[in-house]
Structures are given as structure tokens and as C-alpha cells.
Amino acid sequence: MSRIDQPDATDGSKQVRAISTERKGRSPFYPGQPVPVELFVGRQEQVDRIMTRGVAQVAAGKPVAVFVQGEYGIGKSSLAGFVQFLAEKKYNLHPLYVPLGTAENPDDLGKEVLETTLKSGAFNPTRADRIRTWLNKYIENVTFFGVSIRLDAIKRDAPHIASGMLPFLAEVFNRLNDTGVKGLFLVLDEINGIAADRRFAYLLKSIVDGNAMSPKPIPLLLMLCGVEERRRQMIQHHPPLDRIFDVIEISALSAEEMKTFFENAFRSVDIEVESEAIELLIEWSAGLPKIMHLVGDAAFWLDRDGVISKGDALAAVMVAAEEVGTKFVDQQVYRALKSRDYHAILRKLGKISLKSNSFMKSELEKDLTDSERKKLNNFLQRMKKLNVLRSGDSMGEYEFNLPMVRAYIWLQSRRDG
């Protein structure tokens, strides 16, 4: 087996490794889940902006609406969770985090908002009690682990909650006001499905306008999280919506932020990371928090001796590449390219893809057959359209958009021989 398949494999250390694996605690990495507050890094500018122009304003009585915008997996939900935590701690805004992943229409929205409200205040017995007393009819029973809810009753009333969202939120606030709550922080996340329903855009606008015009506005921070396309779609449904949101854009993390993240995460579980290993993890994560967690998690599980070496890091990159590859690249690239010649070119690209993030067309061209060479230009165009490649700085130069994709293409070409 190569070093990549089995990093640092020497017989002498096997026993030590077996013991340390059993003792392995919980991984500090959260692929696919918002990051816990203590491991959140970066986003200083965005956090400051939300805190000063959003949270502080709301705590002073003025409602605000923001849209956290960024690509898939860039960290929208994590940012929302982090600022909700700060807003509760520093300004006493009551957090309501509503995931709308399965919601398609206003009724679904009503149901999710009601459910979130019922379960809110879990860490503050007085607040939880206020909410539960008020919304008692939706509760089956309350156990040590939380409330179990009466779904039938919730579903029945969901349409009323949706059409009366503003009075409902006003009532939440009124019930909590004398417990020290200064406002509500409502996050509507995962809006992909519901944004397609034009009624959602009208509903949002009516909540914001209705609140602004009310003689006694609710101090409400309304935050939506989504990709830019969803915001545009909503504006298309109802153009005035464009004016209500302060758009907070998030993009890739810097190398320094990623370094801090890896150092903190490994330190929290007493694992040492060699500086060359950190460099590798940073290079391959390419500023994408989603990849950072995948790669870090793979390194955590591969480690056997409490020290992440360069070999461990490289092996972790390959594990992560495999995961990214089978989930996305297979579907979106390999299956999209139907022609045999395209696949052959891709295999040859794989052979040179690990060397650097960019390559010259001439370098790839060298190894192609006549028929493949004729299709090379079209192939490169297709790869640009599929978001795998972009043009580089010099003529005939191409760069990979995502380093993980080039690692996967390399892995595939090795498998195909």
C-alpha cells in the first residue's frame, strides 16, 4: 500500500495506535453542521456589521432585516448561530432559529415558526415556562429532554400563524418582555424551497412594512440566509423586497483564519499538528469552511499517535477528496461528460492535476491522441461551464476552481490506470 493509503504505517507503533484510537474522544470537526460557537473563526467584519447595524439597533427598539448571502457551505448558518448567541448574551435578544429546508409554502413556514417558538428558551426556565404556558395546547408533554409537541394541532393552526405572523411575533415578545428580553432575533434559514413560492416574498414584505408602520413596532431582527440566486428570485416575485434587506455577503476564509481554526480544533482534543501538515490542510481547504471540516475530521480519525504529520494530512486530503468526489464530482462532472474522448482527456488531466493548481493547455495536449486533441478546446470550455476550471493569468493557462476536485480527478485517474 502506498503512504497515502496507509499513512505512517510501521509495525512498531501499531499497539500504541490501537490504544489511542479506543481513547479517541469526540471529533472537534462538524462536517455538515453549523460550527459550535467556541470553534467559530473569522467573519469579523460581518459580525461587527450585524451587531452594530442589526442587533444593537433592534435592542434600542428599531426593527432591522438582513440577508446573509453566500455560496453553499460557505458558513451562513454558522454565522447566524454565532451572532444569535452574541445577541442573546450581550443584548438579550430572544433567538428563534427556523430551518425551512422542508418548507414549501406559507403554511409550512407557520408550522416551523410555531415549533421553533415552542422549543425556544430551553436554557432559561422562566422564558421557557412563559412560552409553554401560553402555547400549552400544542404540547403533548414536557420531559427532562424537552417538549414533545402535538403535531396535529400545530398543522391545524399553521395557516393562521403564517397569515398573522406579525401579531404572533408581537405576542412572543410581549410574553417575554418582563423577563428581560429586549427583542426577537428570528432567523429563517434554508429558504431554497420556500423562496420559489411568490407568497413568501409578499409575506416577508408585509411583516417588515407592517411592523415599521405599527404604532408600537416589535424590536425584531429578521435574518434570512441563502444563496444570491434565491434573493434575486424573491425580488423577481416582489421587486420592493429589494429595499428591505441589508445584504451581508460572506466568502472564503483567509489562510490565517483557517490556521487559527485548525490550531484551535486540534488543541481542543490535545492533538499536535506539525506546521507542514497545517500548511497542507490550509492549501487544500482553499478557504471553504465545509472542506476544512471534512479534511480536519479525516485527519482526526486517521491520527494514531496524537501528532498530525504531513503524511496524515495528505492522507486526510485524499479521504476528503473521495467524499467530495462521490457526492458532487461524479454526478456533476463525470456523468455530465458523455463522450469517451472527454473521459480520456479527463484521465490525462488527472495525471498532471496533483502537481499544481494550474496547468498549461500545451502540457495536457502532449499526451493526447489526434482525436482527443481535436476535442480539447471543447473539453476545456465544458469544464469551465461545469465550474471545474477557469482561465488563468497567462495565455493557455487554466486553473482549478476547487483544489478538492483536482485531488479527486487525480484519484480517479489512478484508479482507471
- Strands of 100-218, DSSP E: 139-143, 146-149, 183-189
What mask of x and - would describe binding to ligand ATP in positions 179 to 218, judged by CB under 6 A?
-----------x----------------------------
- Residue among 3, 6, 18, 72 that touches ligand ATP (CB under 6 A): 72
Of positions 73, 99, 159, 193, contacts ligand ATP by CB under 6 A: 73
Shortest distance, position 404 Cβ to ligand ATP, whole Å: 14
* Nearest-angstrom CA–CA distance, 81 and 84: 5
Q: Name the DSSP class of 96.
A: E
Other C-beta atoms closer than 10 Å to the C-beta of 232 total 12
In whole angstroms, what is the distance from residue 343 CA to residue 379 CA? 9
In whole angstroms, how close is the CB of 299 to ligand ATP at the nearest point? 15
Euclidean distance between the first and the last CA atom of the chain, given in angstroms as a whole number:
16
> Which x/- pattern over 249-268 shows residues binding ligand ATP (rule: CB under 6 A)?
------------x-------
Q: Which does 261 bind (CB under 5 to 8 A by kind): ligand ATP, Mg ion, none?
A: ligand ATP
Nearest CA to 163 among 230, 94, 114, 225?
114
- Residue 42 is a binding residue for ligand ATP (CB under 6 A): yes
* Residues of this chain, 291-330, that bind ligand ATP according to CB under 6 A: 293
- The correct pick among 111, 205, 231, 290 for binding ligand ATP (CB under 6 A) is 290
CA dist 191 and 285 (Å) reads 26
User: Which CB atom, from 35 or from 389, has the smaller least distance to ligand ATP?
Assistant: 35
Q: Which stretch binds ligand ATP (CB under 6 A): 27-35, 90-98, 160-168, 333-341?
A: 27-35
Long-range CB contacts for residues 382-387, cutoff 8 Å, separation at least 24: 382/336, 382/337, 382/342, 383/333, 386/332, 386/333, 386/336
Among residues 7, 28, 64, 78, the one that binds ligand ATP under rule CB under 6 A: 78
- Pull the grid cell for residue 275: 506546521
Print the binding letters for residues 360-389 with ligand ATP: x by CB under 6 A, - otherwise. ------------------------------
Q: CA 62 to CA 220: how far, in whole Å?
A: 8
Which cell numbers hold the place of 400? 482549478
Burial of 179 (0-12, 13-18, 19+ CB in 10 A): middle
Beta carbon nearer to ligand ATP, 99 or 396? 99
- What residues between 387 and 406 interact with ligand ATP by CB under 6 A? none
Element (H, E) at 364: helix 361-365
Instruction: Verify binding: residue 285, ligand ATP, rule CB under 6 A.
Output: no
The residue (of 300 and 379) whose beta carbon lies closer to ligand ATP is 300
Indicate whether 289 belongs to the interface with ligand ATP (CB under 6 A). yes
Pick between residue 97 and residue 168 the one whose CB is nearest to Mg ion: 97
Whole-number Å distance between alpha carbons of 71 and 65: 20
Q: Which does 342 bind (CB under 5 to 8 A by kind): Mg ion, ligand ATP, none?
A: none
The three cell numbers of residue 343 are 473521459
DSSP E strands in 11-145: the ranges are 64-69, 93-99, 139-143
Sign of CA pseudo-dihedral 166, 169, 173, 174: positive
What amino acid occupies position 182?
K
Q: Determine the interface stretch with ligand ATP among 39-47, 310-318, 350-358, 400-408 (rule: CB under 6 A).
A: 39-47
Q: How far is the CB of 225 from ligand ATP (least distance, A)?
A: 6
Q: Nearest distance from residue 78's CB to Mg ion, in Å?
A: 8
Cβ contact 280:317 at 8 Å: yes
Show the site string, 71-110: x = touches Mg ion by CB under 5 A, - = not: -----xx---------------------------------
284 binds ligand ATP (CB under 6 A): no
Of all helices (H) and strands (E), which one includes residue 360? strand 358-360
The secondary structure element, H or E, covering residue 105 is none
Nearer to Mg ion by C-beta: 225 or 286?
225
- Number of residues in contact with ligand ATP under rule CB under 6 A: 24
**From CA 272, how far away is CA 263, in angstroms rounded?**
8
33 near ligand ATP, judged by CB under 6 A: yes
Residues 52-71 that bind ligand ATP (CB under 6 A): 70
Residues found near Mg ion in the complex (CB under 5 A): 76-77
Binding site for ligand ATP (CB under 6 A): 30-35, 39-43, 70, 72-78, 190, 261, 289-290, 293
